[in-house]
Structure 1
Amino acid sequence: MSLPELSLSLQFADPRHKALLPRHKVARWIRSALELPGEITVRIVDAEEGRQLNREFRSKDYATNVLTFDYSHEPVVTADLVICAEVVEREAKEAGLDLAAHYAHMLVHGTLHAQGYDHEEDDEAACMEARESELMQALGFADPYAAR
C-alpha cells in the first residue's frame, strides 16, 4: 500500500531537537497517519510561543505538547502542527519514553486531529487512541497507551 502524497514544511523556531527530527523521518511519521494527500506545516516552538498560541486559540494559559490547526480535511488535508519542544521533552523524561518516539507520537496524534479525529468524548478517544496505537506499532514504536 502506498502512502499518500505529502507537501511538508518543517520549521524550527526552537532548534534544540533538530537532529532528532530529520525531514525524512517527520514525513514518514506524518504520512503513516494521513488518509488523503496532505499539505502540512510542522513548527517546533519553545514554551513561550507554545503558551501564547494555546492561550490565543484555545484560551488555555500554558504550553501544550501539540496544537493542530486544521484548515481542510479533503480532498487534501491542510494543517499546521505546532509542537512545543520543552513540553515534549519533559513528558518523555517523566514517562521514561524515548524522545524521538514521543515526537513521532505527537506528529501522528496531530495528523489525526488534522483529519477530524478527536478525543473529547470517551468513544472518540477510544477510536483515536486505537488508531494511534496501530500506527505507532506499524512504525516500529511501542504502543503509547499500553503502559497506562
Structure 2
Amino acid sequence: MAVTVQVASSRRGVPHARSFNRWAQAACAPYLPRNNQELALTIRVVGAAESRKLNRTWRAKDKPTNVLSFPAAPLAPGKNGVPSRFPAKEYSELGDLAICAPVVAREAKEQGKPAQAHWAHMVVHGVLHLLGFDHENDRDATAMEAREVNILAQFGYDNPYA
C-alpha cells in the first residue's frame, strides 16, 4: 500500500511520514488481500479550522475532531465484524484520513499519553474505519478496540483505552 502524507498545519510535533506509513501498513496488513498491493491511502494532517470545517460538512458537528475517515469505496459488512469486501481491484484508493494536529496534541497531554502513541492510535483507528470497522454499538466497539490494541502493541504502545 502506498501512503501519502500531506501536512497542512504546523509541523511541530507531527511524526515523520515513515511513522505514518508503518502505522497504516500495520493496520491494513491483516485485512487486505495480497492482490491489493497497489492500494493507496492519503493522510492529511490539518489544523483546527480545517478539521472543524470537514467535521461540520460531513458529520454536522461544529468542532474540530481528532481523526476523520473518508473511504474511497463502500465496503460490505462481513462475518464477525470483518468486512467481507475490500476495495475492488479497479479502485486504487483505500481513502483519506484527516488528522487534526492540535486536537491530537491536546488529547495526548490531557490523557497523559506519549504524543507518538496517540498519533499512532489515530492512524490505526482511522484506517480501521476505512476498512469498514466501526464502534456504533458495544459489540462492534469492543471488537474494533481489541484490533487497535493488538496493532498498537506491535509498536510497544500501551492500550489507549486503559
Normalized per residue, which structure has more strand? 1
Instruction: Give the C-alpha shift of residue 26 in structure 1.
Output: 0.9
Instruction: Give the C-alpha shift of residue 88 in structure 1.
Output: 0.4
Q: Aligned AA for 1:110?
A: G
Is 1:33 equivalent to 2:27 in the alignment?
yes
Task: List, as ranges, runs of 4+ consecutive aligned residues in structure 1 with deviation greater than 6 Å.
Answer: none
5 Å matches for 1:81-120? 81-120=97-136
What SS does structure 2 have at the residue aligned with 1:103? helix
Instruction: Give the C-alpha shift of residue 77 in structure 1.
Output: 5.8
- Report the counterpart of residue 64 of structure 1 in structure 2: 65
Normalized per residue, which structure has more helix? 1
5 Å matches for 1:7-22? 7-17=2-12, 20-22=14-16
In 1, Cα distance between equivalents of 2:17 and 2:65: 23
- Report the counterpart of residue 46 of structure 2 in structure 1: 45
TM-score between the two structures when normalised by the length of structure 2:
0.82
Cα 1:54–1:111 change in 2 (3 A) is same
RMSD, matched Cα: 1.4
Q: Which one has a bigger Cα radius of gyration?
A: 2
TM-score between the two structures when normalised by the length of structure 1:
0.89
Query: Percent identity, aligned pairs only?
Result: 44
- Greater relative contact order (Cα 8 A, min sep 6): structure 1 or 2? 2
What SS does structure 2 have at the residue aligned with 1:57? helix
- Report the counterpart of residue 139 of structure 2 in structure 1: 123
What SS does structure 2 have at the residue aligned with 1:16? coil
Q: Aligned AA for 2:56?
A: R
In 1, Cα distance between equivalents of 2:21 and 2:108: 21
What SS does structure 1 have at the residue aligned with 2:72? strand
Question: Aligned pairs, how many?
Answer: 140
What SS does structure 2 have at the residue aligned with 1:140? coil
